Every structure is written in C-alpha cells, then in structure tokens.
A and B are shown apart, each in its own frame.
Chain A
Amino acid sequence: MRYAYFPGCCDHTSGREYDISTRALCHALDVELVEIPGWSCCGSTPGHSTSHLLGIALAARNLALVAEMGLDCTASCAACYQRLAMANVEMQNDPRLCEKINWITGKTYHGGVKVKSIVEIIAELNPEQIISRLVKPLENLKIAVYYGCLMVRPKAVQVDDPENPLVMDHLLEAVGAKTVDWGSKTECCGASLAISNDDVVLKLTSKILADAARAGADCIATGCPLCHFNLDMRQKKINQVFGTDYQLPVFYFTQLIGLAIGLTPDNLSFNTHFIDTSKVLELVG
C-alpha cells in the first residue's frame, strides 16, 4: 500500500511527534508513505479565511503534485486533510472554479486524486494487521478520544459521524485501551485563535480538559496538531489561570497504537511533550 504523504507545516514544527509517530507506525504496518516532493503549505485557516480562492489554490497546488505521482493522498494533520479534501471536492463539483484555480496555480488538475485522513488509512487496514503485532496492550489505560472540529466537518469530507465519532475509539480499543464516554469529543479547542485571542482558547480548552478529567481519563488522544498544541502546551497556563491541577498527557493516536505494537517511546517522540508522559508509560508497563 502506497500513499503520497502530505506532512504539513505543523508536523515539521510544533507537531513533530505526529509526523514521527505516523511515519513509524505506517512503516511498522507496511503502509508506504511517499512524501510529496516540493509540497507547500495547505493554507490552513488563515488561507481560506483570507480568500476562498486563496484557500483552494494553496491546497490545489499540492493536489496537482500528487496527481503527477499517480498515487492517492493522505495527510496526518486534520487541518491539512480538511483543506486538501475540500479543495478536491470543490474543484470536482465546479469546472469553472477548477479552471480559475488552475490558472492561479499554473498547474493542471481536474480531480481524480483521492484524499484520505491518516485515521481512515489506519482504520481501513485489516484489523489483524494491527492485532497480530500487538505486544503491549494498553489495558490499564483510559483514554478520552478527542476529534476536534476539522476531521468530522463539513459533511462533504467528514471522516466519521460529526456528533459521536468512534473511528479512533475503535482503533484504540482494538489495541486494548478503554475509551471513555464523554461529551467534548468534537468541541472546538479554539484552534488558531490561540494567536489572536489567548483568553478564548484558554477557556475553551480548559472545558475540554475538565470534561476529560471528569470522565476519568488518564490521557487524551487526538489526531490534530493544533488541538494537541492547545491541550498539551497550554495546560500549564490553564492550571495557572483557572487554579486547576490537570496533569493529562495528550497523545496522537498514532503514538498510542505505535506503543501497543512495540515501537519504543523514544521512536514515537514521547519525550518531547509538555505534560509528562511517564505516568502513562507506567500504566502501560
């Protein structure tokens, strides 16, 4: 199985753990990821909130590169996935928009590439492929699985049910973990408002942490670098501002599955988190 892989900017910077663990996990599961040569930023929220055309064009340039590779495309970052998939849908549905975008990018792309989230890629594997490699079941671990906004919205590109997604829950349950039933699975963390409205993000993120703690979770699992950034890096500040004492490690789902199939914590970048991950490693044993 081969996919053109779009790591995205976050995965090269603040969300390196996601990139490292995704590559390690896919390697272990015989999924070949070929990094798109010369990929550029998907535009993310600043792109499409500045201009609709800009948002599509930035993503479309990458789709054109993928088309040249003759592969289907995957992205780990939820925002990158959503931007690439949305551009793909919009261009396929609107030939006039497609022409305009091709004129802007100077590349010819008329659809045809399939864009999948890395969550879908792993979930579509034969479960045996994972279970047969299981060496360290996450039996003692209670996980609050957090999907955020972009993976499940809008309808045209949703990976799972936007109200009660379960795809990552099922993956983590397959490697032995318990997932908690909680109400903030798809609540917004505040995302890039962290840059302009810190106080809003602190409030939104603190509610998610509170909910996860109330549900009895030992840690949070996610599939979005920005969610991870807000939940992990800002946790200390949230504790200061709201007088709380959360110590909830936040993982990418790829890290946790990787751990279960025997990849070492160092290879999964457990040591670069803001919240200490050793508690979870002890629970897993």
Chain B
Amino acid sequence: MRIGVFVCWCGSNIGGVVDVPRVAARAAHLPYVAHSVDYKYTCSEPGQNMIVDAIQKHNLDRVVVASCSPRLHETTFRKTIARAGLNPYLLEMVNIREQCSWVHSKEPDQATAKAIDLVRMAVAKAARLEPLSEGSITVTKKAMVIGGGIAGIQAALDIADAGHKVILVEREPTIGGKMVMLDKTFPTLDCSACISTPKMVAVAQHPNIELLTYAEVTEVSGYIGNFSVTVKQKARYVDHSRCTGCGTCWEKCPQKVSSEFNQHIGIRKAIYIPFPQAVPNKPCIDAANCRRLNGKKCGVCAKVCAAGAINYEQQDEYRQVKVGAIVMATGYDLFDWTQAYGEYGYGKIPNIITGLQFERLVNASGPTGGKITRPSDGKEPQNVVFIKCVGSRDEAKGKAYCSRACCMYTAKHAHQVLEKIPGSRVFVFYMDVRAPGKAYEEFYQRTVNEGARYIRGRVSKISRKGDKLLVKGADTLLGCQVEIEADLVVLATAMVPSRGSREIARTVGFTVDQDGFFQEAHPKLRPVETNTAGIFLAGVCQGPKDIPDTVAQASAAAVKVCALLYKQEIATNPMIAEVNESKCQGCLLCRDVCPFQAIETKTIPNNAHDQAKTQTVAHVNSGLCQGCGCCTSSCRSGAINLKGFSNEQIVSAIKACLCEDNFAELVRKVRKR
C-alpha cells in the first residue's frame, strides 16, 4: 500500500494559521505514506496535475488531501485521481480549513497540532478504503411542476420548450398565482396581466404540458428519476369536456361569495371563474358555499346550462403519475397582520388594507374598475398612508427577514395614488428604503420627486377619528412625533410561505428552513436544488423575491430538470448502506430511523438445505439511500455498513487519533500537574 498526502495552504486561509509544511513533514512518517507534500492551491489546475503526476511517479494507490470541506472539493479531487487511473473512491479528504484554521485562527500552534491529528486519522482510514463503483438508474422523461404562479408557469414552459413532457399541478381553479392579481409591475409599470396572461395561455396550449388545475399532490414516493406521484383532482361539479365557458351559470347563480381573487374586496358567485382571463376559462362550483350541494333547493346552474355540463354527483378523483423530476413553485401568502397588530386595530378598523388589496383596487379589472376608493364608503381618498415592514424585519410581531419586494411596490403604489388622484397626499412610513435592482433606485427617486413624503419611522397606533384614520408615528430623522389624518392606510405585509407548504414539503420529502421556506441545497452555489436529489425550487417558496428574480430562478430550475431528463440513466452514489444478511436479525430498527424511507424488507431462506424456511431481513433501496449512516449506528448486530464509512474505517481513524504518541504526551501532561 502506498498512500500520497497532499496538504493545501489554500493561500493564507489555511497557511496563515496552520504550519502547513510541518503537517506535510509529519505525515511523511506515517505508516504506508510513500509521498507527502504541501502546495499553495491544490484545487488549481497545476495543483491537480501535481497529484496526477505524483500518483504515477510514486505509484500511489490511495490519496489523502488535507484542504477544505469535502462538500466543496471532494468531487474535484475524485475526478483528479480518476484521471491518474485510480478508483475515485480511494480518496480521503481532511477538512483543515472550515474545521481547523478558520475556527482556531487565534491559536496557530494548537491548530497545527489538530491538523496533524486529523491527517493521521485520515491516513489510517485511507489504508482501509475499498474501491467503490457507481450503479445506474433509468430516468422517467417527464417532469412535474407543483404550483401554477409565475414561477411554475415559467419553469413548465422552459422544460416543455426543451422538448420534455411536463405536468403542471395547481390547487386553485386557475393558474396565474399572485402575479396576475397585480395591476402594474415595477419599475417599468407594464401591465401585469398583459405580460402574464399570454404565458398562462401558452401553458394551456403547449403540446408538452398537461395542466391539472384544482388539483393537489397527496403522496410522493420513489427517488430521483423515478418519482411516483398521487394527484387528487378535486371535484369541480362541472364537466369541462362539455362546458363551453359561456358564463350563463355564474351570471344566474344566486349565491354571492366574497372573492378570493379580489382579496375579499368584491364578490363572486358560488359557481365561478376567479377572473375573466382565468386558465382554464371554465367554472367550478365552490362546494362549501353552493346552495344545492349543501342540501338546499337551488340547482339554477344545472337548469341554465345548455351543454348539460353541471354534475352535482362528481367526486374527487385520484390518479398516479410517474415523473423523473419535481419543481416546487408553491409561492407565498401574505402575513396575517390582523392577528398580530393590535395597534392597527386587529383588522377591525375599516380602510386599512394590504398591498395586494390595493393592487385589486387600482386594477382596471378589479372590483372598482381601477378607481382608488375607500372600501368603507367608496369615496376617493385624499390622504393615503403607506406603512412598510408590517410583519417583516420585526421578530416581536412577525418575521425577522426582509420581504424584498415591498419597498418597490410601495413606491409604485405611491406613484399610482399621486397619478390617479389629483391633489392627493401620500405619506410612506419606512425603516430603510431597499431598492437594489436594475432601475429600482431611479424608480424610487421618481416617486419621491412626484411628491410622496417618506417618513423614516414606524407607526405606533392607528385609531378612528370620525370617518378618518388617525395615524400616529415617529419621524426618527427629525426626532419628533407625527400625526396624520388619513383616508386610507395601505400595509406592506410580509411574504410568508403559502398555506400548507410545510405539509407539501413533508409529502414530497425535503426540508424547510426556520421560517418555513423551502431549504435550498446551498445558499450560493446550489440555490435551486434541494437536499433531496431530483427536487428543485423556483420562486418565493424558497424565500421572498420579486418577479424578475422569480422568473430567473424558475428558468434555472428548468435547466437543472432538463439536464437530468436528457440523460438515459444517472449514476448513483455508491457510498450507501449495505446489509450483511447473515448478521441481520430482522429487527428493522433501521427502518424506523431512516429519514429517506430507504429500508425495505426482504425474505431470504434461512437454511441453505431447506428453502421452505425463511426469514425477514433489511434491504437497502439504493435509489433512495442518501448515505446518512443513521441505520449503521442504530444496528445492534453491526449488520449494516455504510460504504466509504465502514465501522472498520471509522474505528481505525479513532485509534489513530488516540495513538501512542498522543497517549504518551497525555500521560506527561497529567504527571506535570
């Protein structure tokens, strides 16, 4: 056995703290080490070439690289040693940067001693490494996108345009999400519906896209390349194959319901399409509010439907589909300020609305036809107060994070008030103005120049004063109290993960962050992947963002899906658990602890001569196993080994850590005391 050790300086990242040449010199004396050097940037091309040359020149058969975290460069160095003809899994990495030099920057001597210990452990483990080979699994060439807002629409269109089949699942009766509710979009002021409805239509017409609206994902099993998804098609009580979308039913329906699409300003009917450009442009019956479905006499829609499309007996239907990749695009909801902001009246004072409600008010297709009026009396407001960061950047009340889009849409709202209501006055209470986007700062300045009064400070109280609202706050720049008599108050409430997002994350099988947003695999370098292979993220479900960022991320997720679907088969990670069936007792404790449902049962003969006698043992599904090692440590009989982290390898590393040198030193220290 001939082990090569390469100790990296990582410029001054490691070399500035750890005595790198000393580490390399000490490693040279370890058992089986045939070659040990240090190098400035081992991951650079000359650095990698040096490793290849050394393997050939010194006839090395194991390689230890002491540098950064394996999460960063393990794949890099595996490829390097493979170039020299070695099995890529005969590499052992030692993290002497994140777990040594960075955390012990003030204690260089101890950092060096720790680096030497870590390298000795890695060499001991490397001596017991076995070559591993990757398996392969076939890929189902179809993707699923969950959520039909702008993120889901963009991802589905991009994947479909690349030639792959896509199933787009949306739980509402129409796709379009929040974007299609908006009036105009910052900073260009182009009409939101004008730019999003063509995309909605494109989805419906695309030959590669199957659109499932009013449907929910209820179960997901399988693994990358081979997911099996159960979709519930909720009963619409309208047969869309017969319906012509003529609109008579919702005209005649006697049951009025508060409109979700119009943010509860305005009404819809119990049989409805959410808005005139909805896709699909055919209605469904809201079962909770339908008179007929609640046992009352009605049935008007069925009577007036010439096509005979109404079917009160329709049931929810479940179907199973197979897909190779899943894109999550479940979007957001607005923080419910009425539960948290008593100082703003808990939602009981009229004429305090959210930004999304303002969008519907100012929208030409909204309940007021685009006229900005007060919900309470329909009067045009003269003094409008905007309050930013309601629920955002305020841990005591809501969320610690910034919702990112509010500064800009509030600037847009302020502009729209000043533009549409001559003589109006606009006051914006803010903590900071965050306008970091292309043409964003300019847009904000334009609003200020148009006359919007920006007041830095928070509003402490809103109370009624006759039919007006008395807004009390602080101007922290002038150091004085401010009181404004407002006709309308608009709150920029925080974006929060959409309702049910934790449940869908659990169903699909990936993690969420502390705020409930979907956890990306790496915040910088893998922003659209999750830690579960084959599941990708697009839009606000991953964290608050505006439309341009959402669209960009959706396209990025689509590219990742395409890269996966273009492959006939994909290589599987060989560092997975393996059951020694002769030792397995079949207790299946491993199945309980496995976070990936990768442990299955298998029946084997327990007597070579009598095939009739059988026993149950654990079996690892190589497609699902992520190599976490939970099963290995839970196995009482030591029947499970994690390849690349076998018990023997780990124990030898521990023994090396507690080797005689250290032991002797320890004894000396104790004696000195």
Chain A interface (Cβ < 8 Å from any Cβ of B):
161-164, 181-184, 187, 211, 214
Contact = CB atoms under 8 A, between A and B. Distances in A.
22 contacts: A161-B342, A162-B342, A163-B341, A163-B342, A163-B346, A164-B342, A164-B345, A164-B346, A181-B464, A182-B463, A182-B464, A183-B461, A183-B462, A183-B463, A183-B464, A183-B465, A183-B470, A184-B463, A187-B461, A211-B463, A214-B465, A214-B466
Nearest to A210: B465
B648 interface: no
A218 to B, nearest CB: 19
A258 B341 CA distance: 34
B343 interface: yes
Contacts of B343: 163
A181 to B, nearest CB: 8
A181 B470 CA distance: 14
Contacts of B342: 161-164
Contacts of A181: 348, 464
Nearest to B343: A163
Nearest to B344: A163
Interface SS of chain A: loop
Interface in B459-475: 461-466, 470
A164 B465 CA distance: 17
A163 to B, nearest CB: 2
Contacts of A211: 463
Contacts of B341: 163
B390 to A, nearest CB: 14
B128 to A, nearest CB: 54
A184 B465 CA distance: 11
Residue of A161, A182, A183, A184 ringed by the most chain B CB atoms within 10 A: A183
Interface string B340-384: 011101101000000000000000000000000000000000000
Enumerate the 4 nearest inter-chain pairs by beta-carbon distance, A residue then B residue, closest first: A183-B463, A163-B342, A164-B342, A163-B343
Contacts of B465: 183, 214
A134 to B, nearest CB: 29
Contacts of A182: 463-464
Interface string B437-479: 0000000000000000000000001111110001000000000
A211 B348 CA distance: 17
A50 B462 CA distance: 33
A148 to B, nearest CB: 15
B114 to A, nearest CB: 38
Nearest to B466: A214
A103 to B, nearest CB: 35
A162 B125 CA distance: 62
Given A164-B345, A183-B463, 11 more contacts: A162-B342, A163-B342, A163-B343, A164-B342, A181-B348, A181-B464, A182-B463, A183-B461, A183-B462, A183-B465, A183-B470
Nearest to A155: B396
A162 B465 CA distance: 20
Residue of A163, A164, A181 ringed by the most chain B CB atoms within 10 A: A163
Nearest to A211: B463
A66 B403 CA distance: 51
Contacts of A187: 461
Nearest to A164: B342
A187 B343 CA distance: 11
Contacts of B462: 183
A164 B349 CA distance: 12
Contacts of A163: 341-343, 346
Residue of B346, B462, B463, B470 ringed by the most chain A CB atoms within 10 A: B463
Contacts of A214: 465-466
A182 to B, nearest CB: 8
A63 B536 CA distance: 61
A183 B463 CA distance: 5
A163 B463 CA distance: 11
Contacts of A164: 342, 345-346
A150 to B, nearest CB: 17
A139 B86 CA distance: 93
A183 B343 CA distance: 9
A129 to B, nearest CB: 30
A214 B467 CA distance: 11
Contacts of B346: 163-164
Contacts of B466: 214
A162 B461 CA distance: 12
A162 B466 CA distance: 23
A167 B464 CA distance: 21
Nearest to B340: A163
Residue of B341, B464, B466 ringed by the most chain A CB atoms within 10 A: B464
A118 B81 CA distance: 79
A183 B483 CA distance: 14
B525 to A, nearest CB: 42
Contacts of A184: 463
Interface in B525-548: none
A161 B461 CA distance: 14
B318 to A, nearest CB: 45
Contacts of A161: 342
A162 B341 CA distance: 11
A213 to B, nearest CB: 12
A186 to B, nearest CB: 9
Contacts of B461: 183, 187
B423 to A, nearest CB: 27
A23 B535 CA distance: 69
B287 to A, nearest CB: 35
A184 B472 CA distance: 12
A86 to B, nearest CB: 20
Contacts of B470: 183
A156 to B, nearest CB: 14
A162 B340 CA distance: 12
A183 B470 CA distance: 9
A184 B466 CA distance: 14
A184 B345 CA distance: 12
A33 to B, nearest CB: 32
Interface in B377-403: none
A163 B342 CA distance: 5
Contacts of B464: 181-183
Interface string B52-63: 000000000000
Interface string B320-349: 000000000000000000000111011010
A165 to B, nearest CB: 9
A163 B340 CA distance: 10
A161 B348 CA distance: 15
A106 to B, nearest CB: 39
Interface in B176-232: none
B87 to A, nearest CB: 61
A94 B341 CA distance: 31
Contacts of A183: 461-465, 470
B430 to A, nearest CB: 22
Contacts of A162: 342
B339 to A, nearest CB: 12
Nearest to B462: A183
B42 to A, nearest CB: 53
A181 B341 CA distance: 16
A163 B396 CA distance: 14
A161 B345 CA distance: 12
